[in-house]
Amino acid sequence: MTGTKSLLILANWKMQLNNAESLALFKEIDEELKGLKNTEGMGVIICPSFTALPEIAKLIPETKIKLGAQDVFWEQVGVYTGEVSPEMLKECNCQYVLVGHSDRRTYLKETDEMVHLKIKATLASLLSPVICVGETFKERQLGRKDYVVIRQVTQALSGIDLILDSTQLIIAYEPVWVIGSGQAIDSEEAEYMHQVIKQSLIDLYPMKIVENCFRIIYGGSINSQIVKSFLVQPHIDGVLVGGASLNKEEFIGIIKEAIKVQKFK
């Protein structure tokens, strides 16, 4: 345990809420969070859909919550119909961007190369990428989980120089078949995969950069009942929450568990 790292609790609302619902849920969570003690140093990040960002952005200066987007394009301006640039996200008070979520790798055929370009553009705009990696069930069955995750991390970051203290990058380890299934993997298994990811970062960057710039979090069917068993693991710096983040009680329950664990991290 480092003793200096705060835990990250990241909500991914996907395409589940309309604008009014997004705004209402954000306000409810914000209200609850303001009533909680010992949240200093805790990173609560919410990623609504693009269309909900401008309204929520107005509330950001008055809240402890940080805002993230669910995707980004790799150019700043140009003839790219339907795309959203990193600078546009900054205009919406975003600090974080999900990159390479498995929904996008699966349905939109996003490749490691596209993920790489998005990370580069995100960092150039001083936004923090949340780089999603994880193996499919088939890859796991074939004994290729370590290989797949090392490949995704390495290709995502290859050739990207990082400057100490000016960058925060998050790697989210999400075993693909577990996402939305209601059944997370064993927390010790997740801890092992986090160690694999850390080792692949050490192969790419000096230890100081790995320790200061990177956080590694787990995602996949997290809820308030099981979150503690993940957060107490030495290499797990937080969680990425999908379904359970759409329910105020559940999400606040997760944050409360994190507050308890934070004291000992």
Return the active site residues. 101, 174
**Window 126-185: residues binding ligand PGA (CB under 6 A):** 174, 179-180
Candidate residues 67, 222, 226, 227; the one interacting with ligand PGA per rule CB under 6 A: 222
For ligand PGA, the closer CB: 11 or 157? 11
Give the shortest CB-208-to-ligand PGA separation in angstroms: 29
Candidate residues 219, 226, 231, 250; the one interacting with ligand PGA per rule CB under 6 A: 219
Range in contact with ligand PGA (rule: CB under 6 A) among 33-41, 61-69, 143-151, 219-227: 219-227
Q: Is 216 in the site for ligand PGA (CB under 6 A)?
A: no
Give the shortest CB-243-to-ligand PGA separation in angstroms: 3
**Window 80-109: residues binding ligand PGA (CB under 6 A):** none
Give the shortest CB-218-to-ligand PGA separation in angstroms: 10
Give the shortest CB-12-to-ligand PGA separation in angstroms: 5
For ligand PGA, the closer CB: 52 or 179? 179
The burial class, CB within 10 Å (0-12 / 13-18 / 19+), for 153 is: buried
CA nearest 173: which of 205, 202, 139, 150? 150
CA nearest 93: which of 129, 123, 65, 130? 65
Q: Find the DSSP H helices in the chain.
A: 19-34, 53-57, 86-91, 102-107, 112-124, 137-141, 145-157, 187-204, 207-213, 227-231, 248-262
Q: Is 221 in the site for ligand PGA (CB under 6 A)?
A: yes
Non-local CB neighbours of 48 within 8 Å, separated by 6+ positions:
13, 17, 22, 26, 56, 67, 70
For ligand PGA, the closer CB: 175 or 205? 175
Is the Cα dihedral 76, 78, 79, 82 positive or negative?
A: positive
Written as six digits, the tokens of 236 are 């797990």
Q: Is 242 in the site for ligand PGA (CB under 6 A)?
A: yes
For ligand PGA, the closer CB: 168 or 221? 221
Non-local CB neighbours of 62 within 8 Å, separated by 6+ positions:
none
Q: Which residues pair with 215 in a beta bridge?
A: 170
Separation CA 214–CA 197 (nearest Å)? 11
For ligand PGA, the closer CB: 121 or 244? 244
**Window 6-35: residues binding ligand PGA (CB under 6 A):** 12
SS3 for 162-191 is: CCCCCCCEEEEECCHHHCCCCCCCCHHHHH
Size of the site for ligand PGA (CB under 6 A): 13
**Chain positions contacting ligand PGA, by CB under 6 A:** 12, 174, 179-180, 219-222, 240-244
